[in-house]
Amino acid sequence: MSRTTLSIAVVALHTSPFSAPGSGDVGGMNVLVRATAERMASEGHHVEVITRRFTPDLPAVSRRPSGVVLRLVDAGPATLRPKSEQEAFVEAFRTGLDAVGDIDIVHSHHWLAGMAGLPFARDRHVSHVQSFHSIAAHPSTALSEGERPESAGRLAGEEWLAQTSDAIVAVSHAEERTIVERLHADPARVHVVLPGVDSTLFHRAARRLEPRPYVVTAARIEPLKGLDLAIRTIAAMPAAARPDLVIAGGPTDGYESHVDELHALAAELGVTDRVQFAGPLSREDLAALFAHASAALVPSHSETYGLVALEAEASGVPVLAAASGGLREAVSERAAALLTTRDPQEWADRLTMLLGDEALWESLSTAGVRFARQRTWDRTAHETVQVYQRLIASTNERWRDWA
């Protein structure tokens, strides 16, 4: 490899990796970008995370306790704005990137970041790595349940990024297939780097009997996450075996009314007293919630990966998840039930069986912890840096061939 220590520009336009996940447009991507950046910095690399300024009272450049440099770029109003509005900020954000010092590589997260990050990388004569985290459905493609059509700018932008970036890092083999099939990327340039989990934060606690057992669904509140199925599952269980359902998360921008729809559904099914809306939680509070949960439900229609399922496993919590997208890779089949059906009664039957069988629960819990221990953020960071180093070495070799 050409260099041991790298100067890495991590670009995330539409949301700050240092914002707490669970509402707005803050989710698993934020957790991944922050954790990976912090681990790369701990390995001695200079890591600068660049995001749009969303509040007026923070310094333009600051160093986080982890050693990561956070740079806020003025692009659009200094307020939180829905992701759907931020395409208009790309050009101003691209101009703001000129203040960044010398770098070896640019890694953009989400298509909006890439639309600024790729031209910036070209201007600096360095390689560009793209991570999508979610990919728009093409107009000719049937939308998955819960998906919404995207702008023409996103459709064209994602194809351009997939076909022009020097490398693409996908978070699952499911995402890799989507990138190749939908965006026509060269498979040789797509690298799968699986996310990790902080097992010092998410870990198995001593089992205790709760006065009212509860199961957890942690997700932003939007139709794609399938939270209606979680509520229907609880309602379909025998009343005597019915646990509480705690929904941890707030609404995605533009889906505020979906919260009311879920409340109405719980009332219609007669389980209002069993469904709790906890709102967005800090990482620490989510870990504490998982610590004594009886199960985690992940009923998403589609997930690029499904980090929350891995966090539940690390906490020793058995998982019931939809067998969709990257969720097949986020869990171990020995630690989770992957369901291909969206029939609430079948979900209810599986959950009832799990909660009523202590030996089964213990087996799934133990297997989940064992599986999660293999998925560390150190490993994720190391494999990501390897992608960077191979690109830089390849670029240097091409320059030598041309000389």
Tens-digit pLDDT profile for the chain (403 aa)?
Answer: 345 899 999 999 999 998 877 656 778 999 999 999 999 999 999 999 999 999 999 999 999 999 999 999 999 998 888 888 899 999 999 999 999 999 999 999 999 999 999 999 999 999 999 999 999 876 665 555 555 666 788 999 999 999 999 999 999 999 999 999 999 999 999 999 999 999 999 999 877 666 789 999 999 999 999 999 999 999 999 999 999 999 999 998 888 999 999 999 999 999 999 999 999 999 999 999 999 999 999 999 999 999 999 999 999 999 999 999 999 999 998 889 999 999 999 999 999 999 999 999 999 999 999 999 999 999 999 999 999 999 999 876 655 554 4
Looking at the DSSP bridge assignments, the partners of residue 69 are 48, 63
Residue with tokens 């934060």: 201
- Tell me: do 93 and 186 sit in the same domain: yes
- In angstroms, the CA 20 to CA 220 distance is 12
In this structure, the strands spanning 336-339 and 319-322 are parallel
Mapped onto helix, strand or coil, the DSSP state of residue 35 is: helix
Looking at the DSSP bridge assignments, the partners of residue 296 are 216, 319
- Tell me: do 266 and 386 sit in the same domain: no
303 in a domain, yes or no?
Answer: yes
- The pLDDT mean for the chain works out to 92
Q: Which residues contact 171 (CB under 8 A, 6 or more apart)?
A: 32, 131, 133, 192, 193, 194, 195, 304, 305, 326
Give me the DSSP letters along 269-314.
TT-GGGEEEEE---HHHHHHHHHT-SEEEE--S--SS-HHHHHHHH
Are the C-beta atoms of 340 and 299 separated by less than 8 Å?
Answer: no
- Tell me: do 232 and 328 sit in the same domain: yes
Q: pLDDT tens-digit profile of 55-67?
A: 999 999 999 999 9
25 in a domain, yes or no?
Answer: yes
- Tell me: do 87 and 150 sit in the same domain: yes
Are the C-beta atoms of 372 and 380 separated by less than 8 Å?
Answer: no
- In angstroms, the CA 208 to CA 103 distance is 51
Share of the chain above pLDDT 90, in %: 82
- Tell me: do 268 and 327 sit in the same domain: yes
- Tell me: do 355 and 395 sit in the same domain: no
397 in a domain, yes or no?
Answer: yes
250 in a domain, yes or no?
Answer: yes
207 in a domain, yes or no?
Answer: no
Total domains, the chain: 2
328 in a domain, yes or no?
Answer: yes
- Tell me: do 322 and 256 sit in the same domain: yes
Residue with tokens 């010398």: 102
Q: pLDDT tens-digit profile of 316-330?
A: 999 999 999 999 999
Mapped onto helix, strand or coil, the DSSP state of residue 133 is: coil
- Tell me: do 390 and 324 sit in the same domain: no
Q: pLDDT tens-digit profile of 195-235?
A: 999 999 999 987 766 678 999 999 999 999 999 999 999 99
- Tell me: do 357 and 396 sit in the same domain: no
| Percent of the chain that is helix, strand, coil (3-state, to 5) | 45, 15, 40
Maximum CA pair distance of the chain? 77
Domain that holds residue 97: 7-196+376-402
249 in a domain, yes or no?
Answer: yes
CATH at 180: 3.40.50.2000
Residue with tokens 């097992």: 199
- In angstroms, the CA 24 to CA 80 distance is 9
- Tell me: do 309 and 174 sit in the same domain: no
- Tell me: do 330 and 383 sit in the same domain: no
- Tell me: do 24 and 158 sit in the same domain: yes
H helices of 87-240, in order, are 90-96, 111-124, 152-164, 173-183, 227-236
In this structure, the strands spanning 61-63 and 69-73 are antiparallel
203 in a domain, yes or no?
Answer: no
